[in-house]
Amino acid sequence: MHGLYPKRVIDTVLDAMTDHEKLSMEVLENPDVGRRFAMLLLKLLKQPDMPALGMMKSEVCIIIGIEK
């Protein structure tokens, strides 16, 4: 992955650590898990909206700090 996206994913995970410390550490410590997590986010962003998460694509973009 290139550009700012990987750093934005890491920054988002770090911000969420207090609420989800165990999951956050797994994403940060294991490069394979981190890559799969980043790919999952990209897959979700390709959807017009994410009813299963109860949020719209624009909300996910705001959460991870990228423009849609």
- The per-residue pLDDT for range 8-54, each reduced to its tens digit, is 888 888 887 777 777 778 888 999 988 888 888 888 777 766 565 65
HEC letters along the chain: CCCCHHHHHHHHHHHHCCCCHHHHHHHHHCHHHHHHHHHHHHHHHCCCEECCCCEEHHHHHHHHCCCC
Kindly report the length of the chain: 68
Q: Are 60 and 44 in contact (CB under 8 A)?
A: yes
- Give the confidence band of 55 by pLDDT, cuts at 50, 70, 90: low
Q: Does the model's pTM come out above 0.75?
A: no
State residue 20's pLDDT score. Answer: 72
